[in-house]
Amino acid sequence: MATRTETHPLTDQLSKSGHETLEKMSVPLGHAEDRLRETTYAAQNNVKAAVKRTRGNTREITNSVTGYIKEHPLATVGAAAAVGMVMGALFKSRS
């Protein structure tokens, strides 16, 4: 039995048009992908730098508070007691 070869001109035309469109778009899409990767990399570096700065600031604040507590233990206890009383009064009034 002989194999019949069918042609599909509309399908062939659409396929060719699709390939041509993909070829035309590949360069601009490649540039867009490159810009997106660069922007993502820069954002990642900015976040890492911000985290590093925040850790440094946190360390400085912790050291400062610790130093104050060691130098002024009674004032620290008094401040903690005052804060506790205020918080207790606020929560008690809500009940």
- The whole-number average pLDDT for the span 66-79 is 95
Buried b (16+ CB within 10 A) or exposed e, 39-69: eeeeeeeeeeeeeeeeeeeeeeeeeeeeeee
Tokens of residue 23, six digits: 């070829």
Sorting pLDDT into bands at 50, 70 and 90, what band is 93? confident
Say yes or no to pLDDT of 1 above 80: no
Position 7 scores a pLDDT of 75
State residue 95's pLDDT score. Answer: 64
Reported as a single tens digit per residue, the pLDDT across 21-70 is: 888 888 888 999 999 999 999 999 999 999 999 999 999 999 999 999 99
**Do the Cβ atoms of 69 and 76 come closer than 8 Å?**
yes
